[in-house]
Amino acid sequence: MKKLVMGNFKMNGDFAMIDTYGDTLLQLQDEKGPWTHDLILFPPTPYLNELQIILWETDIAIGAQDCSPHGGQGALTGEVSASFIKDMGCTHVLVGHSERRHKIHESNETVIEKLKRVAEEGLTPVLCIGETKEEYEQQLTLDRLHEQLKDLPDVEMVIAYEPVWAIGTGLTASTDLIAERLSQIKAMLKEGTPVLYGGSVTPDNAAEILALSEVDGVLVGGASLKAEQIDKIARS
Ligand code: PGA
Residue 221 Cβ < 6 Å to ligand 1? yes
Whether 4 and 196 have beta carbons less than 8 Å apart is answered as yes
Question: Left, alpha or beta for 89 (phi > 0: left; psi -120 to 50: alpha)?
Answer: left
Q: Is the CB of residue 220 below 6 angstroms from any atom belonging to ligand 1? A: yes
Which amino acid is it at 123? L
| Distance, CA of 178 to CA of 215 (rounded, Å) | 8
Give me the pLDDT at residue 172, please.
Answer: 87
Q: What is the pLDDT of residue 148?
A: 97
For 54-175, list the strands marked E by DSSP. Answer: 61-64, 92-95, 124-129, 158-161
What span, in angstroms and rounded, lies between the C-alpha atoms of 123 and 91?
A: 5
Choose which residue among 6, 133, 201 to substitute to test ligand 1 binding: the one with the highest number of ligand atoms within 8 A of its C-beta: 201
- The predicted structure's pLDDT at residue 1: 85
According to DSSP, the residues that pair with 127 across neighbouring strands are 95, 159
Cα(228) to centroid of ligand 1, in Å?
17
Which of 37, 97, 99, 121 is catalytic? The answer is 97
Catalytic residue (choose from 99, 121, 135, 162): 162
pLDDT for the residue numbered 219: 98
CA distance 89 to 59: 13
Clarify whether 228 is annotated catalytic. Answer: no
In the reported structure, the alpha carbon of residue 166 is separated from the centroid of ligand 1 by a whole-number distance in angstroms of: 8
Question: Strands (DSSP E) along the chain, which ranges?
Answer: 4-8, 38-42, 61-64, 92-95, 124-129, 158-161, 195-198, 217-220
Cα 66 to middle of ligand 1, angstroms: 15
Alpha-carbon distance of 176 to 2, in angstroms, equals 21
Q: Which residues contact 59 (CB under 8 A, 6 or more apart)?
A: 34, 35, 38, 39
Q: Which atom of ligand 1 is nearest to the CA of 223?
A: 3
Please give the distance, rounded to the nearest whole angstrom, from the Cα atom of residue 220 to the centre of ligand 1: 5
Residue nearest to atom 1 of ligand 1 (CA): 221
Pocket of ligand 1 contains residue 203 by CB under 6 Å = no
- Burial classification of residue 67, based on how many CB atoms lie within 10 Å of its CB (0-12 exposed, 13-18 middle, 19 or more buried): buried
Give per-10-residue mean pLDDT for the chain (236 aa). 96 98 98 97 98 96 98 96 97 98 97 98 98 96 97 96 94 94 97 97 98 98 98 98
Instruction: Tell me the whole-structure pTM to 2 decimals.
Output: 0.97
What is the CA(211)–ligand 1 centre distance, in A?
19
Confidence at residue 153, expressed as pLDDT on a 0 to 100 scale:
96
